[in-house]
Amino acid sequence: VIFFKCYTISADDTADMDVFQTGSQPQLQFGQAKEPRYLLYDVNPGEGFNLRRDVYIRVANLVKVLNEDEPWILVLPPWGRLYHWQTRELGAQIKIPWSVFFDLESLRKHIPVIEFEDYLKVIGKPVIGEVYYLQGYREGWGKWEEKMDIRECNDKPRYEQDENGKWKGPFFYYDDIYAEKFACMSAQSYAVSMKPFLMKNTTARSVFLDRAEALIHGTFSEWSAEFWTARRSMRFSRELRDIGDAFREKYLRSNDKKDRTELKDWTDMKRKHGDALGGPYLAVHLRRKDYLHAHGEQVPTLKNAAKQIKKFLNKYDVQRVFVATDAPDEEFIEFVQKFKKTKIYRFEPTKDILEKYKDGGVAIIDQWICAHARVFVGTYVSTFTFRIHEEREILGFSQESTYNRLCGSKEDKECEQPTKWSIIY
């Protein structure tokens, strides 16, 4: 059944929305405070941490535009079982709340958010109103136009209806959660274009968009101020920043005052390129493991990587190198042995830090330290590297010191450097 058509947002779309139904709540009249509705989402299980952060920005901006007309709260999807989180001793690494990694107060200066567990408390039952599983069009993309239609599922869905009519699915590894309604939706849409559908075609108190990575930024992309507003609100948790800062001070002679990287409330912070100096070290993101297969041509040998780093050390006249890497220890040691005098550092978490903040937290600490270096050299199209670029844009580094990458051993002069995403306020 196709019960709605493709919409684009215009001021008129929302003109008749003064009265609306919120799930089981009585109809509310204009002028009354409206009950908030809840938007939940999830991402393809195969996607990594840093693409997921980008999906947050898309969904956050959808919630932002929804709130221009009615109150919606974004339910933060607990982190769990990411392919790259491989430290065995930590067990499953599931149901991790956002507050372990991010500063929720900072997110809330952009849009209303709550943790999934708090959503369950507010609702009082382990229930989600409606789930829409986003998918492509079976017949292919065709010419680009925004559209969305309820369709049969292209593949066997991850959700099944039980004998009581409840839809069970992989709700963040919480066993007893169910949805009251489920449908597949073919969507070729900007994230914010979901607004009319959410406001007019569903009255459920909570709506869950699965495979939300299918929604694209559209005009709210890296080239827009809205993207950057949401991105600036995504501050790492205070505790993780403190751990990174202590490491910088202890091993890299780096602190915010000297480096001109002091943080302010992001709503007041506006930096120009070159305002930040950075600590007296080079940072490199040396992506290895599955990347050797996925992007073999663009990943240098360790010997070649060391050669490239040495050139940057000369250019920037720094003697310390901070390495953020997923490389196994043997590879890291091999890399270190390529240097004679230069001091090479890697962040090694204590057992307590690892247990508390998990692989995700350690990766964030690595990113934070990279974000504060005098010069940064990343890995070809790695989203881990991209998020460091953004952090450095926010801190006010020169673009020359940020948008560098390691080149594959055979790339030589054709080694294209990363796209510059200039911050916009």
Specify the residue, 54 or 130, whose C-beta has the smaller distance to ligand GFB.
54
Smallest gap, in angstroms, from Cβ of residue 353 to ligand GFB? Answer: 12
Nearer to ligand GFB, 50 or 399 (CB): 50
Closest approach of Cβ 213 to ligand GFB, in Å? 11
14 alpha-carbon distance from chain centroid? 29
Decide: helix, strand or coil at residue 100.
helix
Hey, what amino acid is at 320?
Answer: R
DSSP-derived secondary structure letter, 197:
I
Residue nearest to ligand GFB (CB): 48
Chain residues in the site for ligand GFB (CB under 6 A): 46-51, 84-85, 285, 287, 290-291, 294, 324-326, 359, 362-363, 366, 382-384
* Choice between 198 and 324, CB closer to ligand GFB: 324
Q: CB of 69: closest distance to ligand GFB in angstroms?
A: 34
Cβ atoms of residues 259 and 372 within 8 Å:
yes
Nearer to ligand GFB, 342 or 383 (CB): 383
Closer of 23 and 80 to ligand GFB (Cβ): 80
Query: How far is Cα 331 from Cα 310, in angstroms, rounded to an integer?
Result: 18
Burial label, 338 (beta-carbon count in 10 A; 0-12, 13-18, 19+): middle
Residue 146, burial from CB neighbour count under 10 angstroms (0-12, 13-18, 19+): middle
Buried b (16+ CB within 10 A) or exposed e, 391-412: bbbbbbbbbebbbbbbbbbebe
Residue 101 CB, nearest approach to ligand GFB (Å): 11
Annotated catalytic residue, options 35, 47, 180, 411: 47
Instruction: Work out how close the CB of 285 gets to ligand GFB at its nearest, in angstroms, rounded to a whole number.
Output: 5
The least CB distance from residue 83 to ligand GFB, in Å, is 6
Query: How is 332-400 classified by DSSP, letter by letter?
Result: HHHHHTT-SSSEEE-----HHHHHHHHHHHHHHHHHHHHHTEEEEEB-TT-HHHHHHHHHHHHHT--ST
Q: For this structure, is 411 an active site residue?
A: no
Q: Shortest distance, CB of residue 291 to ligand GFB, whole angstroms?
A: 5
Indicate the burial class of 183 (C-beta count within 10 angstroms; 0-12, 13-18, 19 or more).
middle
Contact 156, 149 (CB under 8 A): no
Q: What is the DSSP letter of 195?
A: H
Nearer residue to ligand GFB within complex by CB, 348 or 400: 348
Nearer to ligand GFB, 44 or 342 (CB): 44
Cα separation values, 421 from 53, 136, 191, 387, Å: 16, 28, 20, 11
As a whole number of Å, the end-to-end CA separation of the chain is 43
Active site residues: 47
